[in-house]
Amino acid sequence: MLTTTPTPARQASRALARMIAVRVVGVVFILLVISLLTFGLMYLAPGDLVKNLLGNRPTSPEAVAAIREQYRLDDPFFVQYFTWLGNALQGDFGTSVRMQQPVTTVIGARVGLTVALCLLSFLIAAIVAIPLGIASAARAGSTIDRVSSSVTLIGLSAPTFALALLLLYLFAFFLPIFPIYGGGSGPLDTLYHLVLPAIILAAGLGAILMRMTRAAMIRELGSDAVSFARARGIAERDVRWIALRAAAIPIVTGAGLVLTFLVGGTIIVETIFALPGLGSLLQDSVLFKDIPVVQALTLVVAAVIAVIAIVVDLSYLALDPRVRTREFAR
Amino acid sequence: MSGQPGAPPGSLPGPPQGSPHSGPSATVGPRTTQLRLLPRGPKPAWSVVASFVLLGLVALAAIFGSVVFADATKQSILDSLLPPFTAGHLLGTDELGRDVFALLVAGTASAVVGPLVIALGSMTIGIVLGTLAGYHRGWLDMIISRFSDVLLALPVMLLAIVVAGIFDAGYWMTVALLVLLFSPSDIRIVRAGVLEQAPRPYVEAAQMLSLSRWRIMFVHVVPNVWPLIVTNVLLNTSFALVTLSSLSFLGLGVAPGTADWGRQIADGRGLMADNPAALIAPAVLIVLVSMAINVVGDWFGERLERKGIR
């Protein structure tokens, strides 16, 4: 206890580094397995490997030789895999079979729209769902609670594509408030084109977030700490803040989990609204069997999800002093 | 098991199994027989009743639909794009002259059977591997958990689209793929339940009687995780309905021209002006069925929780 070894701050940062390292190693392992499976996709896909990679290009001996050279098809499987992985890590995923452009260029041209769509829907969902979840928990069983839990039931169960088409019919066709399809031109017009798709995505996201917030807040509002705070005569507003702080971890976890929903959702919504984003790119590439693009998108999505999972884990440290002490005491 | 705060006092004509012990942990293996299919409790809300009615109708349509409307996919260009409420065509026809209502009924089987198979199949894998991992622990747990970690690292929808699309999977191939993709979450849930049961006295007692490992796992432990399993099968059915119909909407898993809700919605997209019912009817139906399954699932979960068998 009294020994004058490293300062607590230094000890804490070392513990933090160790914790991050452990998580990163786990994630790298999973990403490696996924990259192996993704690479295997090329081999497992029906049809001739070289023909698949050539696509519509003429099968001249030179083109075939170039492909064999680029993918090192004459080398053993693992040499091919590591060549491919090495290139991928440097941002070179090969050439899109469908568009005859580097995969990185194709993805770069479309990533902005998808990021904007995801951020917008996430923002809408968080702004509506978290306060609603808190209000429902504070007055569990009241009208607001019952109405909002019925609405979340729709958001939770309705398939994105059915909801999207119903809202598209209502608000773009029947009452022409929003554009039916396309990404628009110019930042403001694009934003306008993204509103309806973002609301549709936010319905699913918000439903999950709202349920998690409500459950966490109900649990915290029933805790001893809250009863004690009330007994001390602290105003109900402040009591709710105390409960919210304690409920933050499940809420943030929920926010991280909804990401997987967002991936499936953007594919559907971008396809329906003909938005030129990554989701529609994946859908088109899968139908065209444009394997290099599919490989790149799969790996990118896996990496993004992994990074966000680590960020969520780290946020626990910032949010909850109990986790902080436990992690650093190890 | 008696004396639950929420149990109505009038509806107890004697304890169903008449076991005198108090609490599930007192003897070796409280069995499934304690679990009724529909546990007693207060009257269900109207939404639950409505959901059961809807699901009953859907079940009827799934069984008899393709027989009653055997020629639902038959095209007749002369009758194309009739509006709803035309004589003989309640919801009108689509651009190929197919009756929308007949297609809807005939497509029920394709929309519903797959999801049921997915939920039950993946839960079977979940029960076997989850119990093994949770009870056996050690290297087996390690392998099974890493397997589910890898599959859980990617969203089900993404994997399903990529694999079903690249391999041109048909309906049953897609269903099999989804069974595999749904299993990791089931494995995790069952494993967590088994981990929680394993240190209980009844398991120790069974071990003392030197019952075989398999018998302890699947005859004594699994029935105690049953509520968890049933609720999850229901929730997964709704999730599988959403996933499978999304795939068929995207043109994966179901051949063109088949009677299927997702396919029908995809075909109805272009008909907003001519016959909106071709789009709205299947879309609303799919939302309602998915909601109904969730309502029943929630109700089931609440009742089992109230019974205290968790």
pLDDT tens track for B94-126: 777 677 788 888 888 888 899 999 999 999 999
Q: Residue A204 and residue A268: Cα distance in Å, rounded? A: 13
Of all residues in chain A, the one with the smallest CA distance to B261 is A162
Shortest CA gap B127–chain A (Å):
24
| Boundary-marking domain end, from A60, A89, A118 | A89
Q: Does A104 touch chain B (CB under 8 A)?
A: no
A64/A173 same-domain check: no
Q: What is the pTM of this model?
A: 0.82
**A202 belongs to a structural domain:** yes
Please give the full DSSP string across A42-81, using - where no structure is assigned: HHHSSS-HHHHHHTTS---HHHHHHHHHHTTTTS-HHHHH
A70/A194 same-domain check: no
A262/A156 same-domain check: yes
A163/B157 Cβ within 8 A: no
B155/A260 Cβ within 8 A: yes
Q: Residue B285 and residue A73: Cα distance in Å, rounded? A: 50
The answer to whether the CB of A202 falls within 8 A of the CB of A223 is no
**A65 belongs to a structural domain:** yes
Looking at residue B264, what DSSP letter applies?
A: H
Nearest of A161, A75, A98, A122 to residue A297 by alpha carbon: A98
Nearest of A205, A195, A190, A182 to residue A265 by alpha carbon: A205
DSSP element (H, E) containing B147: helix B138-152
Residue A131's CB: how many other CB atoms inside 10 A? Answer: 12
A85/A115 same-domain check: no
**A115 belongs to a structural domain:** yes
Of all residues in chain A, the one with the smallest CA distance to B292 is A157
**A94 belongs to a structural domain:** no
Residues of B with CB under 8 A from a CB of A: 149-150, 153-158, 161-162, 165-168, 238, 241-243, 245-246, 249-252, 262, 265, 268-269, 272-273, 276, 279-280, 282-284, 286-287, 290-291, 293-295
SS3 A317: helix
Higher pLDDT, B181 or A4: B181
Of all residues in chain A, the one with the smallest CA distance to B160 is A264
A30/A140 same-domain check: no
Shortest CA gap B115–chain A (Å):
14
Find the helix packing angle between A143-157 and A103-138, rounded to 10°.
150
Structure tokens at B54: 């809807």
Note the pLDDT tens digit of each residue in A213-257.
998 999 888 888 888 988 998 888 888 888 888 888 888 887 887
A134/A181 same-domain check: yes
- pLDDT score for A321: 77
Q: Residue A150 and residue A138: Cα distance in Å, rounded? A: 17
Q: Does A195 touch chain B (CB under 8 A)?
A: no
A152/A244 same-domain check: yes
Range from A25-29, A170-174, A321-325 that averages highest in pLDDT: A25-29
A32/A129 same-domain check: no
Q: Does A87 touch chain B (CB under 8 A)?
A: no
Shortest CA gap A78–chain B (Å):
20
Of all residues in chain A, the one with the smallest CA distance to B253 is A287
| Boundary-marking domain end, from A34, A57, A89 | A89
The answer to whether the CB of B41 falls within 8 A of the CB of B71 is no
The answer to whether the CB of A138 falls within 8 A of the CB of A178 is no
Note the pLDDT tens digit of each residue in B25-84.
444 444 444 445 555 556 678 888 999 999 999 888 888 877 777 676 676 666 666 677
Residue A111's CB: how many other CB atoms inside 10 A? Answer: 14
- pLDDT score for B20: 41
**A187 belongs to a structural domain:** yes
| Closest Cβ opposite residue A286 in set B165, B269, B284 | B165
Of all residues in chain B, the one with the smallest CA distance to A44 is B167
A85/A132 same-domain check: no
Confidence of residue A330 (pLDDT cuts 50, 70, 90): low
Distances (CA, A) of B143 to B134, B138, B150, B301: 12, 9, 11, 30
Find the helix packing angle between A103-138 and A187-221, rounded to 10°.
40
- pLDDT score for A329: 65
Task: Name the residue range of residue A215's domain.
Answer: 110-328
Q: Residue A279 and residue A265: Cα distance in Å, rounded? A: 8
- pLDDT score for A30: 87
Average pLDDT, chain A: 84
Tokens 């909407």, residue?
A: B249
The answer to whether the CB of A83 falls within 8 A of the CB of A72 is yes
- pLDDT score for B178: 93
User: Is the predicted pLDDT of residue A269 greater than 80, yes or no?
Assistant: yes
Higher pLDDT, B212 or A13: B212
Please give the full DSSP string across B178-224, using - where no structure is assigned: HHHHHHHHHHHHHHHHHHHHTTSHHHHHHHHTT--HHHIIIIIIHHH
A41/B294 Cβ within 8 A: no
Which stretches in chain B have pLDDT values below 50?
A: 1-35, 309-310
- pLDDT score for B240: 93
A168/A255 same-domain check: yes
| Residue of B48, B159, B166 to mutate, testing the A interface (most A Cβ within 10 Å of its Cβ) | B166
- pLDDT score for B176: 93
Q: Does A177 touch chain B (CB under 8 A)?
A: no
Find the helix packing angle between A187-221 and A236-272, rounded to 10°.
140
Instruction: Name every chain A residue with its beta carbon within 8 A of the beta carbon of B287.
Output: 154, 157-159, 162-163, 166
A41/B154 Cβ within 8 A: no
Give the number of domains in chain A: 2
Instruction: Name every chain A residue with its beta carbon within 8 A of the beta carbon of B265.
Output: 161-162, 165
User: Is the predicted pLDDT of residue A284 greater than 80, yes or no?
Assistant: yes
How many CA within 13 A on the CB side of residue A166?
19
A45/B166 Cβ within 8 A: yes
The answer to whether the CB of A49 falls within 8 A of the CB of A70 is no
Least confident window among A82-91, A135-144, A284-293, B70-79: B70-79
B249/A161 Cβ within 8 A: yes
**A280 belongs to a structural domain:** yes
Nearest of A311, A298, A258, A313 to residue A31 by alpha carbon: A298
Note the pLDDT tens digit of each residue in A73-95.
778 888 888 888 888 888 888 88
**A265 belongs to a structural domain:** yes
A72/A206 same-domain check: no
Q: Using alpha carbons only, what angle is made at residue A173 by residues A167 and A178, rounded to the nearest 5 degrees?
A: 70
User: Is the predicted pLDDT of residue A130 greater than 80, yes or no?
Assistant: yes
- pLDDT score for A4: 52
Distances (CA, A) of B306 to B43, B221, B301: 14, 20, 9
Find the helix packing angle between A236-272 and A103-138, rounded to 10°.
140
Residue B126's CB: how many other CB atoms inside 10 A? Answer: 25
**A16 belongs to a structural domain:** yes
Q: Does A267 touch chain B (CB under 8 A)?
A: yes
ipTM entry: 0.85
A116/A79 same-domain check: no
B150/A34 Cβ within 8 A: yes
Higher pLDDT, B9 or A147: A147
| Boundary-marking domain end, from A89, A124, A159 | A89
Q: What are phi and psi of B93, to 5 degrees?
A: -130, 165
- pLDDT score for A1: 46
- pLDDT score for B104: 86
Instruction: Name every chain A residue with its beta carbon within 8 A of the beta carbon of B167.
Output: 44-46
Of all residues in chain A, the one with the smallest CA distance to B154 is A302
Looking up residue A251, the CATH number of its domain turns out to be: 1.10.3720.10
How many residues comprise chain A?
A: 330
User: Is the predicted pLDDT of residue A106 greater than 60, yes or no?
Assistant: yes
User: Is the predicted pLDDT of residue A291 greater than 90, yes or no?
Assistant: no
* Helix ranges restricted to H, B9-45: none
Instruction: Name every chain A residue with its beta carbon within 8 A of the beta carbon of B291.
Output: 153-154, 157-158
Shortest CA gap B63–chain A (Å):
24
Q: Residue B282 and residue B80: Cα distance in Å, rounded? A: 18
Of all residues in chain A, the one with the smallest CA distance to B236 is A157
| Residue of A165, A166, A310 to mutate, testing the B interface (most B Cβ within 10 Å of its Cβ) | A165
Shortest CA gap A171–chain B (Å):
12
Of chain A, the percentage scoring pLDDT greater than 90 comes to 18
